[in-house]
Amino acid sequence: MSNENQIDSENMYQMLKDFPKQIEEAIKLGKDIRITEPIDKIVITGLGGSALPGEMLLSYLKDMPIPIFVNKSYFLPTYVDKKSLVFVISYSGNTEETINAFRIAAKRDCQIVVISAGGKLQEMAQQQNKFYVHVPKPTPNFQPRLAVAYQFFPIITILTNSQLLEDKSEEIQKTIANLQRPVFEEQAERLAEQLVGRIPVIYSSERLKAVAYKWKIDFNENAKTQAFYNIFPELNHNEMVGWTNLKGDYFVIILKDDEDYERIKKRMDITKTILKQKGVPVKEIMFTGTSSLNKIFSAIYIGDWTSYFLALQYKTDPTPVKMVEDFKKQLA
C-alpha cells in the first residue's frame, strides 16, 4: 500500500471508494430549482468529462417523450430556442467552448441551468440571474471525470422537480447500496492485470454507449494509455474489417446489457468468435437487473476501478493530466 500511495499522489483510491457517498450528496444538489416555462427539448452542453452526464442521460432516459441532445461545441444547433432547457456543464467553470455555448443560449432566451464548481460560468450565471448548481470540489486537483455523479444527479433532481420526470428516489437508493459492495474493486483489479501491455477496445450497444465512452476516457486519463470504443451494430459495418490486419496488441471488452436487443446479442456473439479466431483476447461483462440506472453506474464503477489499477500497474499517477494542461496553456 505504501508503494501505491507513492504513485497515487492525490489518493484517487479514496475518491473511488467514496463514489457511493458522492451520489448521496449529488441528489441534494439542485433541489430548489424548478423549471416552470414550457419545454419541448433538453440540451446538455459540455466537453470531456463534463459531457458525460448528457451521454448518460441519453442512455438512461431512452424512452423520454421530450428529446434529449448532447452538444460538444463552441456553438449550439439552430433548433435550440426559448423552449429548450439547456444544462451548461463545466466542472472548472472555465471551459471556453462551454462559456461560448452559454452566451448563445442566453441570447436565444433559453431556460438555462449552469452546473459547475465555480469559475467564469458561476459569475456569468449569477450576473444574468440564471439557475446555478454549485458542485463540490473535494480536493484542489479533483478531476471532472471523477465528478460524474455530482454533474448527473442534479439534472435528474431538476427534471423531477419540474415534473418532466417521475420520481427516481427508490432506484437511486438501490443503486447506492449496490455500489457499496466490494465486488467492483475486486473484479476490476483482476481485469487490469489482464490489460497490462495491451490496448483496450471497449464495445457495447447503444444502451451502454455512455459507459463504453467513459471506460475509454478513463483509460486515457487515468492509465495514460491509448484506448478506443465503438458500438453495435455500427462497428459491424466498418471497424470490424480493421481486425483483418492486426497492428497492435489489443484486448476487447464487450459490455453487455441483459436487455440488449436479440439481434444485437447475436452480433456480439459472432463478433466475439471472429476476434478470438484472430487471436484477440475478449472479455465479456454482463450487467443484469431491472434498473437501468444501476446497470449504468455499476458498469461505470468497474471501469473507474479498472483504469485506476491499470495506472498502478504502469506506475503512473492516475490523477494529473499534464498533457491536457500543457495544451490549454498553448491554446491560451
- The set of catalytic residues is 221, 237, 328
Q: How many CB atoms lie within 10 A of CB 197?
A: 10
Is the Cα torsion angle 113, 151, 63, 58 positive or negative in sign? positive
Identify the DSSP state of 43: E
Selection from 117, 61, 118, 49 nearest residue 85 by Cα: 61
Backbone angles phi and psi of 325, in degrees to 5: -65, -40
161's CB contacts (< 8 A; 6+ apart) are: 30, 31, 33, 34, 35
**Beta bridge partners of residue 321, listed in sequence order:** none
- Give the cell for residue 34: 424548478
d(Cα 114, Cα 134) in Å, to the nearest integer?
A: 8
Selection from 38, 142, 125, 37 nearest residue 88 by Cα: 125
